[in-house]
A and B are shown apart, each in its own frame.
Chain A
Amino acid sequence: MRAELPKLPMYLDYAATTPCDPRVVEAMFPYFTEKFGNPGSRNHSFGWDAEEAVTKARQQVAELIGADPKEIIFTSGSTESNNLAIKGAANMYAKKPTGHTQRGHIISVIHEHKAVLDPCKRLEKEGFEVTLIDPQSDGTVTREMIEAVIRDDTILVTVMWANNEIGTFNEVPEIGALCHERGIIFHTDATQWVGKMPTNVKKDNVDLLSLSGHKMYGPKGIGALYVRRRRPRVRLMALQEGGGQERGFRSGTSNVTGIVGLGKACELCAADMDAQRQRLGALRDKLETKITNALDVVQVNGHPDKRLAHLTNISFGFVEGESLMMALKEIAMSSGSACTSASLEPSYVLKALGVGDDLAHSSLRISMGRWTTEEEIDYAGDKIIEAVNKLRDLSPLYDMHNEGIDITKIEWAAH
């Protein structure tokens, strides 16, 4: 028997959000109380203190991604950064003014986050044309795939750096280079990438990049948009107007505490990113090996190598997602069930990869982070195997599979 059980419930959903690092909270603390000034107050020390803190944080964020501090716009998170980047660029570079059709062509991918897809849909209603391409079955998007759909009127390409459900990387530097050759603005939603992978927006040919504090041990409700200032100098139409803060891109009194927290979070990620990537990659591999050795009809989704080290997405054939989550209720994970009975909404990401019905029904996204231990991963692996075995003992589909019956050939009475 195990000497010591890990503390339950266990958190293995770091891709959904992370706890704040205590060092982040500590850095933020004075800015709630004694240093509460408005950085826009130019004529007293309260304002100067706040301004100094914001300047430092801007520097910390810029350093993490290889940008100039002037290129960092603080926002409320990646959703806002994506909206500002996509709507702001589309409206700025539109071929025709509001009210017309054929205002310009935008390219994105069907497995993007809703915070990219929905702004694109909005623009479609406002006279832009949007092409959403399918990723390859390993989840990746390449330069060639984008090149194949670029048109003369393409004004914007938006492709996420790492996917939030499967962790797969896209060819961002190559796609960026392509966009630069063609004079097209290139945005990437790097919410899941930044802080985990080395980033240099200059070398990686990115024009606009979204990042979010709460995915990297910073607070919720703070994020940033990188806006390139040289070659090309990217312009955006602001979504929110007012006091002209953030160089006019984003009016509103700065969220100083959040900004300080984001800055500190960036500094901490820069310091331990490589060590964490190695450590968590080894845990991830151990978990995957354990599960795939113990169970048949399991599939690790996404690209085998081009993916985030701390995340795995595994499909288990012949068991249903909700019952699997029920069996594992003491472990917090995401279910990429293709058919959660409550919403009947399939995981569009897994569908985009062509994951079949036999496997798509239950997949788990397990994502680890700074405080995940080997004991936790060992325990989670055992529990997952136990739960799948229990549910397969109950599953008529698993019996049929073992009797050599192809369940896709049965005429099911859909209800």
Chain B
Amino acid sequence: MAYSEKVIEHYEKPRNVGTFGTQKEIKERTDIGVGLVGAPECGDVMQLQIKVDDNTGRIEDAKFKCFGCGSAIASSSLATEWLKGKTLDEGMKIKNTEIVEELSLPPVKIHCSVLAEDAIKSAIADYKQKNSKN
């Protein structure tokens, strides 16, 4: 498998790796939305966390962890970069095809970009759901 330079670059220096706390802590925080997508038996799991500024409604920080191939790692790393500074609506507009293009993913790796889009949508939905209750 030959990877594009951008994939290798993200893989070697992934951006924004980490979490805003343990799973338990994160559950209780209303300023954070979490997307956990994929499945271990399929070979990729992405966890994306966004921290939203209550006043501006913008994503002030994003972090990821990823169990998966180099393209999955690069897709989630890129997603965190793109999310920072965006509003939730802008975040919802990120398309997997843009990730494919940016990273020059080959057809067999398109599912990695789909997963990253799912992770973004699911993190935003989680944030919205947490904040609709109160």
A373 on interface, CB distance cutoff 8 Å: no
Whether A326 is near chain B, meaning CB under 8 Å from some CB there, is yes
Closest B residue to A358 using CB positions = B40
Determine the distance from Cα of A342 to Cα of B1 in the docked complex, in whole angstroms: 9
Most buried by A among B39, B109, B115: B39
Identify which of B54-62, B67-75, B82-90 touches chain A.
Answer: B67-75
- Interface hits, A355-400 → B, CB 8 Å: 357-358, 361, 391, 393-400
Residues of A within 8 A of B108 (CB): 341-342
* Majority SS at the chain B contact face: mixed
- Known: A326-B11, A326-B70, A342-B1. Is A407-B40 also a contact (CB below 8 A)? yes
Query: What is the CA–CA distance of A342 and B68 in the complex, to the nearest angstrom?
Result: 12
Whether, in the assembled complex, B23 has its beta carbon less than 8 Å from a beta carbon of chain A, the answer is: yes
Query: In the bound complex, what is the Cα–Cα distance between A393 and B65 (angstroms)?
Result: 8
Q: A146-154, A226-234, A297-305, A316-324: which lies at the B interface? A: A316-324
- B80 in the interface, Cβ–Cβ < 8 Å? no
A393: nearest residue on chain B (CB-CB)?
A: B17
Tally A-B pairs: CB < 8 A.
99
Q: Does A415 contact B (CB under 8 A)?
A: yes
Residues of A close to B38: CB separation below 8 A: 412-413, 415
Q: Mark B103-118, 1 if CB is under 8 A from A, else 0.
A: 0000011011011001
B41 at the interface (CB under 8 A from A): yes
Nearest A residue to B68 via CB reads A320
In angstroms, how far is the closest chain A Cβ from the Cβ of B125? 13
Residue among B11, B24, B36, B67 with max Cβ neighbours from chain A (10 Å): B67
**Tally of A interface residues using CB under 8 Å:** 32
Note all chain A residues with C-beta closer than 8 A to B114. 415
A394 touches B66 (CB 8 A): yes
Q: Which residues of B contact A320 (CB under 8 A)?
A: 43-44, 67-69, 72
Task: Determine whether B19 belongs to the interface, using a CB cutoff of 8 Å to chain A.
Answer: yes
A411 nearest CB neighbor, chain B only: B39
Q: Residue A322 contacts which of B22, B39, B43 (CB distance < 8 angstroms)?
A: B43
- Closest-by-CB residue of B relative to A339 is B43
A323 CA to B72 CA, complexed, in Å:
9
User: Cβ of B73: which chain A residues have Cβ within 8 Å of it?
Assistant: 323, 394
Interface residues, chain B, CB within 8 Å of chain A?
1, 3, 11, 14, 17, 19, 22-24, 36-47, 65-70, 72-73, 108-109, 111-112, 114-115, 118
